[in-house]
Amino acid sequence: MDWDHLRVFLAISREGQLLAAARKLGLNHATVSRRLDALEDSLGAQLFVRRPAGSTLTAAGERLMEVAERLETEVLGISEELRAVAAEVSGAVRIGAPDGLGNCFLAEELGALVAMHPGLVVELVALPRIFSLSRREADLAIVLDQPTDGRLVVSRLADYSLSLYAARAYLEREGTPRNAEALASHVLVTGVEDMAYSSALDYAALLEKTPGRKFRCASVVGQLEAVKAGTGIGILHDFAVRKDMGLVRILPKISYRRSYYLLSHPEAAAVRRIVTCRDFLARRFREERRRFLPGG
């Protein structure tokens, strides 16, 4: 089976369109179509239902997808082993992470990893969303909910806590609430409920169900900046709050504990650059556990 044909097959299945796959691979549309035809002819099976709006996998295509992804990972692993400089870790690794963790912790930490391995290119994608490893949206993904199915290697990175905060200037202006009921007289900074992508974000329900004025922001970093600016009171990640931000923790009995999980493909154990990144993350989270659980 021609590996170039399989590369085309994988690109189409992930992009959903022949034209988009062609752009991804740096080929023209005709070449992509010709290689897909050749692959289907060699297998004697139709792999996609082709429509003007896009291409969807047939049952035969779904089966080939499983095999092609395993082969792809094996090829990547062999490439790692055959690099001219055996001691050098090089190539690109994409890490998907929640925006709060990505922007308030990983962005500053991963620079040290790149400094240790000049040939390594780390792509940090810090967004409030779920990343699909099967579609190669990321090589490693940090998530809030532990997966219950799928062929993934899952490890618990760290537990972390969240608490109520307000800017010192805001409290001087509006007063400090003495209990949860008193929050009703304040501006509450919270997320956008219908854009929540994880059940672990349910801590926002406290502020949503409390009467009063609301300022909603879909991003964790946006909520942090709004609270810093004195907009109102919000539930923030304790590890993201620094002493120089002018923030005060209030109502300390209200606290939440959640977990981060690291995901990767089983076959990634053969890809040295991914293993290097995974080991680095595990070590740094272990070393910084008190930052993630300052009251623990």
Check if the beta carbon of residue 104 is closer than 8 Å to that of residue 221. yes
pLDDT for the residue 212: 84
Residue numbers in the chain where pLDDT is lower than 70: 1, 77-87, 296
Q: List Cα–Cα distances, 64 to 39, 43, 45, 60, in angstroms.
A: 11, 10, 10, 6
d(CA 14, CA 29): 16
Q: What is the pLDDT of residue 85?
A: 45
The pLDDT assigned to 115 comes to 92
Which pLDDT value is given to residue 194?
83
Domains, the chain, ranges and CATH? 3-81 (1.10.10.10), 91-158+260-292 (3.40.190.10), 161-256 (3.40.190.10)
- The pLDDT score that the predictor gives to residue 134 is 77
pLDDT at 285: 95
Q: Using CB atoms within 10 Å of the CB of residue 120, give its burial: 0 to 12 exposed, 13 to 18 middle, 19+ buried.
A: buried
pLDDT of residue 84: 44
